[in-house]
Amino acid sequence: MTRVISYARAINEALAEELARDERVFVMGQDVGAFGGAFGVTRKLFDRFGPDRVIDTPISEMFLVGGGVGAAITGLRPVVELQYADFLWNAGDEIVGKMAKWRYMHGGLFTVPMVLRLPEGAAGGAGPEHSSCPEAALLPALGTHIVIPSTPYDAKGLLKSAIRDDNPVAFFEHKGMYGLKGEVPEEEYTIPLGQADVKREGHDISVIAWGRMVHRALEAAELAAAEGISVEVLDPRGLRPLDTEAIVRTVEKTGRVIITHEAGRTGGAGAEISAVIAETCVTSLEAPIRRICGIETPIPQSVHLEQFAIPSAEELLAGIRDVASF
């Protein structure tokens, strides 16, 4: 049986189910307790599981991640929330130097089974310091999985898998999708990390997208279909583990590829995926690889300007038309 629930509720259910399933799991972060989280995602967990399992913390990202690492290496399974993904820089050493590396540095003597929840993306005029999509910043943090769900179904299944994984997982949630609704099974399920999903079948052009851009890609694909262009939309569901086999399959199928993400082009993960394509299936390409990304500027404070900083379905459609012309 399935029902329609929001992206935020799907995450909340995943947390509740894992807290109930495994007494080693706990949640901590700023205002995650009685307040229910800055975006309401942890609502009612404090009432159900109490202050020892849902822990409010001071405003210190360094402490949050460092405390999570310490708890993880001693046998617990923390889920740490940073209120905004932008704040990962505040905890840079603990994320890159500790969370990512310590299992390797200690020869596997212990694991680091923790999830770092990172609300990202432009939504509601939160401004330059609260609106970025910095997932590519963690690509050099080898040892850390990078997961980015685009639907309520994926959010719940991937988060449950992330909590059960013995490696640290950076779990990026787009703030603009918390209210997005979709079908989610009532029964328990998980989704393997590193398994891409074809969100729409097509045969002329492949669009590779993740997070909120999946939905803009689907909108553009619908518009393109009306013009006789068949677009396949592939969602890698994250950046590490990266499902390179799925990427190769879609490129070999269509011969044309657009990579789109909300972050700016320079330093974005689209470059890494472009390199994978160039190294593994460049002879299958019938047109140059195209990247359609956010503009090269911090996200504006203005809600009116914010919309111009990220790719729209219309921009994607224009790119699809152009690539289809080769």
Tokens 């609260």 correspond to what residue? 130
Strand partners, 29: 56, 81
Q: Kindly report the backbone phi and psi dihedral angles of residue 209, in degrees, each rounded to the nearest multiple of 5, phi listed first.
A: -145, 155
- Nearest 5°: the CA angle 133, 323, 319 is 40
> In a 3-state reduction of DSSP, which class is residue 52?
coil
Burial of 24 per CB tally in 10 Å (0-12, 13-18, 19+): middle
Minimal CA–CA distance to 165: which of 186, 187, 191, 188? 191
- Give the separation between CA 279 and CA 274, rounded to whole angstroms: 9
Q: Are 99 and 113 in contact (CB under 8 A)?
A: no
Candidates 106, 130, 174, 215; catalytic one: 130
- Give the separation between CA 318 and CA 42, rounded to whole angstroms: 40
261 catalytic? Reply is: no
Active site residues: 130
